[in-house]
């Protein structure tokens, strides 16, 4: 059993890891947004992709070392 299953607290990720996670989410969102924009010829997919990438990067917890 690890700390998660026993009710223990897992260590918090560093601010640098959190920042890296948000930037990675933005980058993936930009790629998805550009891809959807090119496929559908509708430019508003780019901001939508960025918003989803930002939300995903902010919500997900980066791995701790």
Report the run of H or E that residue 37 belongs to, with start and end: helix 15-40
CA–CA separation, 18 and 58 (whole Å) = 8
Residue the block writes with tokens 């508003």: 44
Query: Would you give the end-to-end CA distance of the chain in angstroms?
Result: 19
pLDDT at 6: 55
Cβ neighbors of 65 (< 8 A, separation 6 or more) are: 17
* Whether this model's pTM surpasses 0.85: no
Structure tokens at 57: 């990067």
CA–CA separation, 43 and 3 (whole Å) = 46
pLDDT tens digits, one per residue of 21-46 = 999 999 999 999 999 999 999 989 99
């Amino acid at each position: 059993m690890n700390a998660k299953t026993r009710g223990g607290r897992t260590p918090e990720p560093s601010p640098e890891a959190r920042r890296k996670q948000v930037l990675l989410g933005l980058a993936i969102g930009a790629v998805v947004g550009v891809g959807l924009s090119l496929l559908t010829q509708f430019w508003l997919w780019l901001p939508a992709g960025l918003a989803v990438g930002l939300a995903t990067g902010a919500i997900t917890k980066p791995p701790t070392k």
